[in-house]
Amino acid sequence: MTESLRVLIAGNWKMNGLRASLPEFEAMLAGAAALAARVDLLVCPPATLVAAMAEKARGSRIAIGAQDCHVQVSGAHTGDISAEMLVDAGAGFIIVGHSERRADHGESDARVRQKAQAVWRAGARAIVCVGETQAQRDAGQTLDILRAQLSLSLPDESSADNLVVAYEPVWAIGTGLTPTPKDVEQIHGFIRDLVVARWPAEGKRMRILYGGSVKPSNAAELMAVANVNGALVGGASLKAADFLGICAACAWQSGFAQVLMFCVSALWRLGAGVSQGWRGGYGVGNPRIDRVTPRHLRQDR
Ligand code: PEP
């Protein structure tokens, strides 16, 4: 049985937002105070707003993150910003490897891995994005692409505490299209298997977010899928009403899931106890259900 992980809803403002956007953020802070405490909330504004928003968010339910960083601490890199600078400004998470950075700036998996390590060096948590393009999907290469991206972009030192994985199909970003819940389940299960194969204990606790056209109207359905531990939200994170609507849907969904898991686990324990009693004692039958190692893992690393 997979653990119930805390849900993380992360907003990615991309290259949007001026100081004039701060009242919208204040509306998010006000609305977030009423949300169930079991959901973690994060907003990643452009670098120019990190300090101002971190100041406003101090002591609130919303953490502040950033969208990218340079791999070096400091130096002759005109126009770049280091992870240390972002953390100094108030960022607790930094997104790396977003498909827009991979496409617009030619960022390789190796560079993404270095950036994740830079994030940790600075003391923040990395959100590493992976996802296939439409052409790769059409060619049936989705799992191969994800396997390669995850294998090469995630550093060996990854743990459940320093890393969040975001699965973002490129064709779903900003298009209004989303994969079916069945597709999401298959792909998140695939990602879970890969991280568990590489980090047997930590991999079970790593959060895997879904990203790509998440809205208040589809958030609960997506969050109900196994191994979806939150969302990375672009366009819909710019408006307080939409972002809070998504957060509320996810909070409700995760609360429902927790109650369901409690009931299933209670029933299962009862069943195991009855079965043990029936078999006449301890040590008979292992109640742990082992995962079958899928074939796709054989090629990994
Ligand atoms: C994103 O770019 O991270 C994203 C998920 O965008 P959108 O929600 O707008 O599809």
Q: Could you tell me if 33 and 1 are in contact, meaning their C-beta atoms sit under 8 angstroms apart?
A: no
- Phi, psi at 132, each rounded to 5°: -95, 155
State the DSSP H helix or E strand holding residue 219, giving kind and residue range, or none if neither: helix 216-223
Kindly report, residue by residue over 213-249, the tens digit of the pLDDT.
Answer: 999 999 999 999 999 999 999 999 999 999 999 999 9
- Helix-helix angle 109-122:142-153, to 10 degrees: 40
**Opening angle at CA 146, ends 121 and 178, nearest 5:** 105
Residue nearest to atom 6 of ligand 1 (CA): 234
| C-alpha gyration radius of the chain | 20
Per-residue model confidence (pLDDT) at position 37: 84
CA–CA gap between residue 60 and residue 301 (Å, rounded): 41
Asked whether the predicted pLDDT for residue 15 surpasses 90, the reply is yes
- Average pLDDT over the chain, rounded to an integer: 88
Kindly report, residue by residue over 65-91, the tens digit of the pLDDT.
Answer: 999 999 999 999 999 999 999 999 999
Strand partners, 240: none
Per-residue model confidence (pLDDT) at position 250: 87
Spatial CA neighbour of 246 closest among 21, 64, 10, 61: 10
Residue nearest to atom 2 of ligand 1 (CA): 234
Annotated catalytic residue, options 70, 98, 132, 188: 98
Q: How confident is the model at residue 281 (pLDDT cuts 50, 70, 90)?
A: very low
Per-residue model confidence (pLDDT) at position 243: 98
Q: Which amino acid is at 162?
A: N
Asked whether the predicted pLDDT for residue 259 surpasses 60, the reply is no
CA–CA gap between residue 278 and residue 249 (Å, rounded): 43
Tokens 């799992």 map to which residue? 143
The secondary structure of residue 58, as a DSSP letter, is T
The secondary structure of residue 280, as a DSSP letter, is T
How many residues are recorded in the chain? 301
Q: Which pTM was predicted?
A: 0.85
- Phi, psi at 44, each rounded to 5°: -115, 95
Kindly report, residue by residue over 93-111, the tens digit of the pLDDT.
Answer: 999 999 999 999 999 999 9
168 part of the active site: yes
For ligand 1, pick from 168, 177, 209, 228 the residue to mutate: most ligand atoms within 8 Å of CB.
168
Backbone CA torsion sign across 3, 131, 120, 109? positive
Is ligand 1 within 6 A of the CB of residue 235? yes
Asked whether the predicted pLDDT for residue 256 surpasses 90, the reply is no
For ligand 1, pick from 228, 233, 237, 250 the residue to mutate: most ligand atoms within 8 Å of CB.
233
Q: Which two structure tokens, joined as six digits, stand for 36?
A: 């169930």
| CB atoms closer than 10 angstroms to residue 262 | 11
Per-residue model confidence (pLDDT) at position 36: 80
Selected residue with higher pLDDT from 96 and 257: 96
Is ligand 1 within 6 A of the CB of residue 232? yes
- Which atom of ligand 1 is closest in space to residue 172's alpha carbon? 10
Kindly report, residue by residue over 183-224, the tens digit of the pLDDT.
Answer: 999 999 999 999 999 999 999 999 999 999 999 999 999 999
User: Measuring CA to CA, how many Å separate 273 from each of 265, 268, 278?
Assistant: 12, 8, 8
264: helix, strand or coil: helix
Q: How confident is the model at residue 260 (pLDDT cuts 50, 70, 90)?
A: low
Non-local (6+) Cβ contacts of 26 within 8 A are: 56
185 part of the active site: no
Kindly report, residue by residue over 120-148, the tens digit of the pLDDT.
Answer: 999 999 999 999 999 999 999 999 999 99
